[in-house]
Amino acid sequence: MELSALYSLAPDQRALIDAELQPGETITWAGQPKPRLFTLQTIPLFLFAVPWTAFAIFWVVMAYRGTSKSVASGPGQFFPLFGMPFIFIGLWMFSAPIWMKRRMRRTIYLITNRRAIIFQRGFAVTTHSFMPEQLKSFTKRIRSDGSGDIVFTGTLPMVNRNSGNIALVQNGFYAVANVKEAEGALLKLAGNS
């Protein structure tokens, strides 16, 4: 995405960027993930949803047939309902390409003269900022069409609420159209520290 393309973003996305930038901070590179690359990654989940959902529907139908022949009323009449969550999980897996594409369209990557920023909009807006000293080490993956990923390894420690263990979450710019252009802007920013 060229810098001029920032102005073609939806007004709420542009307002989000403007509100985040500090005085004197200028954008040197901007990008968004290519949704097609992420929707391709959901194909295995989509394919797994076929037998999962088919079996869940089969189970609910057979449980209904088995309990409907019974003349006794009681809690057994609700037995077929236990399969409903599995049907909903199957429908969720079927919709994976749709919600992944929507999520990628709501993600924006920026590199400014001070930091790298990842915006992710969902029910709330999540903003991750990476200072130049955090960008000294990263992993780059390039595809044949020049698109790719830049992963800032081990930059965001997260504490698991249940176990208390600390895990390093890999953040970065995923599925950008021109990974070399993004890498150049990141190296220039990292050199400023």
How much is the pTM?
Answer: 0.69
Q: How far apart are the first and last CA of the chain?
A: 25
Query: In this predicted model, what pLDDT tens digit does every residue of 39-88 receive, in sequence order?
Result: 666 788 888 999 999 999 999 998 888 887 765 666 667 778 888 999 99
Strand partners, 8: none
The beta strands (E) that lie in 74-179 are given as: 107-112, 116-121, 125-130, 139-142, 148-159, 166-176
Strand partners, 162: none
Query: In this predicted model, what pLDDT tens digit does every residue of 10-50 receive, in sequence order?
Result: 777 888 888 889 999 988 888 888 877 666 667 888 889 99
The three-state secondary structure class of 115 is coil
The answer to whether the beta carbons of residues 107 and 32 sit under 8 Å apart is yes
Q: What is the pLDDT of residue 170?
A: 67
Query: In this predicted model, what pLDDT tens digit does every residue of 128-166 receive, in sequence order?
Result: 888 888 887 888 888 888 888 888 865 445 555 566 555
The answer to whether the beta carbons of residues 70 and 76 sit under 8 Å apart is yes
Query: In this predicted model, what pLDDT tens digit does every residue of 97-134 receive, in sequence order?
Result: 877 777 777 888 999 999 999 888 878 888 888 888 88
